[in-house]
Structure 1
């Protein structure tokens, strides 16, 4: 569903150049439910914006289905955003029109695409547990209810890919669990591919695969060993007692990998490391110091 290789995004102003993505590699299969995590400034939101057609990539390869987002024209981009991808913002003000009812909000993208289907709009609100709130305006809905309306809106035109930027960042734990339950149900019943960007490690533990981004590069993956288990934690991130994720350091096609900074600090490794291969495993350690050499 998604394939990116050597993806680069550079933001330029008159006197400043910022490299937000510096060679990101990532593939996502059709029907996956996955999360992308990373610190602020790691590039995860930039990547999501490129997938959503909101930012243009600078270089590399980025394809979503049959769409090549590096070569797509402005006219094609409108069709892509209208038919292929759904987007959920953390800030509800960007998802919803406050002067419309919940039902009217869901119908807006349908009307823009010229295919109004009121029965399906009502069905979507039923699916997210708001069948009794069809005619309520936003001021009459809680924050969690507004976010569920946003999910219904994102699915209005039956997209193949659903992108969610911190979808539970402004709701309580109970509502967060409800929203994740909706995502999983939509993923299983409709088959929509879902990519979630989040800081919430607990939420990330409820998906099948987690990709960590550091400094604009894919650094680590956590893959659920048994998708039928819904564990509470991620390997290496603490959390619940049941560990159902296995951690992988990502190696790109030329053999580069990112070793977690905390590992290097624990071994007192700076800009150089000693590496050995014993026939079974690769060992990375602090370089041997020559006699008399200062540390």
Structure 2
């Protein structure tokens, strides 16, 4: 990969750094702005989720992080490399060596007439890696499927297929793992199992994991959830105490109360971007009788430790 695509090691603690990221899709008659100046930082070894409604821009962001689409403007560094300066060859190398992808639609990951072991070997064959069978067997063991390694995909359940897809995404030892709605087509029990696999891979392998989903309930299982609205980072749902801290205190026990009281274990924080812009939660705007595009007074409160939004009529 060319030297001009790399960045100095001042940001070496970050796997992902997006600043004022813009993506515009153009046709002859229509121009759609999918990302409108998005900011996002993800540290190396972090496990986090990105949530948002349809059309929010989360899938566009995922495609750019995965090297499947190019940014229109702004700044995007991944693992110290500047994706805005990537050539086609750089992108190909990036997708082979840096990033792994788990799709919601298994058909994009899997070849149904091959066994689980053969499916996991396939990316390593394309990359000419040695000891492929040994590596594939180890990965299937990591996702709890060593007993199914010789089964064809059409003999497996949807949850088992998704676990094979995770093993495939790990075949070339990526430093960044992206998952697009990985629990969207499975039941709750299987969903929790898949999330536990991501957590274990993150903990034991140090892989940075980014999960993109529309399911805000993931906040009950993940320490940091970034919400995107209208093509910008709008808020973060942050766990007050990390799962690791609680596990250290409680041993290996997690109670049902922990999952059922997500509103007590997490808090939602609005994000102030690098230009000083702030997206106010919709329910707060409604309580003030405000709408997008309205003008308001912004004042410091009495002790100067907070701000108030005041409609101009007051």
| TM-score normalised per structure 1 | 0.93
Counterpart contact for 2:39–2:274, Cα < 8 Å: no
- C-alpha displacement of 1:253: 1.8
Whether the 8 Å CA contact 1:231–1:240 is kept in 2: the answer is: no
**Residue in 2 that maps onto 1:148:** 163
Gaps of 5+ in 2: 1-14, 247-253
- Between the aligned partners of 2:56 and 2:278, the Cα distance in structure 1 is 16
Higher helix share: 2
Deviation at 1:138, TM superposition (A): 1.1
1:80 to 85, 94, 99: 94
1:19 to 24, 33, 40: 33
Where do residues 275-294 of structure 1 align in structure 2 (5 Å cutoff)?
275-278=298-301, 279-289=304-314
What pairs up with 1:19-168 in 2 under 5 angstroms? Answer: 19-116=33-130, 117-168=132-183
Equivalent pair of 1:205/1:233 in contact (CA under 8 Å): no
| Aligned 1:190-209 pairs, distance under 5 A | 190-209=205-224
Distance 1:31 1:45 in 2: 22
Structure 2 residue aligned with 1:255, among 254, 273, 276?
276
Q: Give the C-alpha shift of residue 224 in structure 1.
A: 1.8
Q: Which moved more, 1:49-58 or 1:92-101?
A: 92-101
Match of 2:261 in 1: 240
Q: Does structure 2 conserve the Cα–Cα contact (< 8 Å) formed by 1:61 and 1:70?
A: yes
Deviation at 1:143, TM superposition (A): 0.3
RMSD: 1.8
1:189 aligns with 2:204: yes
- Mapped contact 1:206–1:231 kept (Cα < 8 A): no
Task: Say whether 1:216 aligns with 2:231.
Answer: yes
1:241 & 1:193 partners in 2: Cα distance? Answer: 24
Aligned to 1:293: none
Deviation at 1:244, TM superposition (A): 2.0
Give SS of 1:86's match: strand
Where does structure 1 lack aligned partners over 5 or more consecutive residues?
290-295
1:239 Cα deviation after fit: 5.7
**How far has the Cα of 1:87 moved from its partner?**
0.2
- Hey, what's the Cα distance between the residues in 1 that align with 2:50 and 2:307? 27
TM-score (norm 2): 0.87
Runs (4+) of structure 1 moved beyond 4 Å? Answer: 230-234
